[in-house]
Amino acid sequence: MSDEANDSEELFVQLFAQNERHIRAFVRSMGLDWTSVDDVVQTVSLVMWRKWDQFDPGTDFMKWARVIARFEVLKFRRTMARDRHVFSDDLMDLLAYASEKREAQVSSDRYLECLHACIDNLPEKSRELIRAAYEGDKSIREVAADVGKSAAALYKALDRIRKQLQGCIEARLAAG
């Protein structure tokens, strides 16, 4: 087996492991009981593995997983259609939509928490530059003049700080 195939398999396992609880929550949000959720998530993981070669690693893994999960839930529901406790397809779509919106809000709130914590951990000088550049109503040229730098130097400093913040946020999000 080639290194590329091994890397691809490792990426799948990593992304699936990181997102399994979100996939499970998404499936559960569509009105299934816990036993059915287990069955559907198992099927979803198999379908995702079979279709892994169709996934573009530069895109949103959870968005791809939700599409597959939604189809698998609908397929599961069709097989269970004789059960009077099964919801209509319209209600299932509404539940899926609500779950996606809730997840996006939680992700956004968590991102902002991490951003604020990371800003607080910056050295004082970096925090002051960030605040001067983003909280005030001054232009970059005005801020640069205030701190005794050229606009180009300020842009470079802000870029370095943004990269630090991005690394910090990603580490905090990955840590849960």
Q: State yes or no: pLDDT of 154 exceeds 70.
A: yes
Q: Quote the distance between the C-alpha of residue 3 and its chain's center.
A: 27
- Give the max Cα distance, the chain: 74
Assign 40 a pLDDT band (cuts: 50, 70, 90): very high
All domains of the chain, ordered by start, with CATH? 1-108 (1.10.1740.10), 122-176 (1.10.10.10)
Per-residue pLDDT of 17-39, as tens digits, reads: 999 999 998 898 888 888 889 99
Give the predicted TM-score (pTM) of the model: 0.48
Distances (CA, A) of 106 to 28, 155, 168, 176: 17, 31, 19, 12
Return the residue matching tokens 């951990």. 121
Task: State the average pLDDT over residues 85-114.
Answer: 68
Return the residue matching tokens 């490792």. 10
CA distance 8 to 29: 30
Taking alpha carbons only, the member of 111, 17, 78, 20 closest to residue 28 is 20
CB atoms within 10 A of CB 129: 21
CB 122 within 8 A of CB 130: yes
Q: State yes or no: pLDDT of 108 exceeds 90.
A: no
Paired tokens of 7 = 């890397």
Task: State the average pLDDT over residues 130-158.
Answer: 84
